[in-house]
Structure 1
Amino acid sequence: MKKIIMTTLSLGLLMGLSTVVFANTSSKTEGYAAELTHFKLTNPNITSSEVDSIMKQREELDVLYKQLDELELRYGIRVDNTKNPHKEPKHLDDLPTAQREKCLQLSIKIWDEELQFLDAQYKAGLIKEDMYTVEKNNFKSFKEKDLQELTQLTKR
């Protein structure tokens, strides 16, 4: 239970903090000017290519999070209470080894993408060094925890 809470809080925090300087990209043609303006307010020297790159990375990260959501729903780690209000979620540790491995591998991939996205934001001057350092250490710690758990699983 402790791991689920920690993972859920981490992912929630991650998703919230990763989008601090990043607005919704749902409407690309209308939103591009607004995005560029938003980024220019944070860093007037940012280039259009940097904005494009950051937006593309965010979209890729969103796809990974969507895959994780779908996987967790399919495996029962996350429950849609609108469809079945009395169903209890499963714990990651209760899943078969293959399913746990798949969840952990996707989680590790997300941490890698988060680190790349964080680096891109920092290099583009969109986040300050202190926030960058703290977030980078957090992401590395989360990734390392998942890597250790995956290693333990594969040794069995």
Structure 2
Amino acid sequence: MTDTVQTMPRIQLLWVNPPRSMQGWDADTHQGILDQGWIAPSPADRFPGPPGRYNLIPEEHWRTVTVGHGDPQVPIFLHESWESRGEKWVQSIPDAADEVAMIAKVRDAVMKLVDSRLAANPAAFPAGPTVTSTEPTPAGIAVIGRCVVLEPTAG
């Protein structure tokens, strides 16, 4: 007989305090919550955040958002009054010598996308810095820039 140890996935619940302050709370949960895609903490949990439903944001977003410890391995559930929007720019690197220049170009492009979103919605704000990485693509190596913007939900 073999003993199997099942670990409980760690998650982070995220909410926004006015005017633009992110607050997070770490919790252990079960795989069913990750599969379900949302969680509604009960008062019995002694949860310090606002009541309501927290929705799992896309993995690409929670790997970019910086809250508290900023662990990119922890899925983030965002309070239902906010939604995450990803801004992304991909630029191929034609020559390895151009890599540093391309990183700066991609970071600037993402920042312009973010500035455009912020201008369109003054209540929105970036949920962390612009992050760039060099990754393989079918067309070769590319620089990928990402930033996540939080916006109040339309409802």
Query: What TM-score, normalized by structure 1, do the two folds share?
Result: 0.25
Determine which structure has the larger helix proportion and give its number. Answer: 1
Determine which structure has the larger strand proportion and give its number. Answer: 2
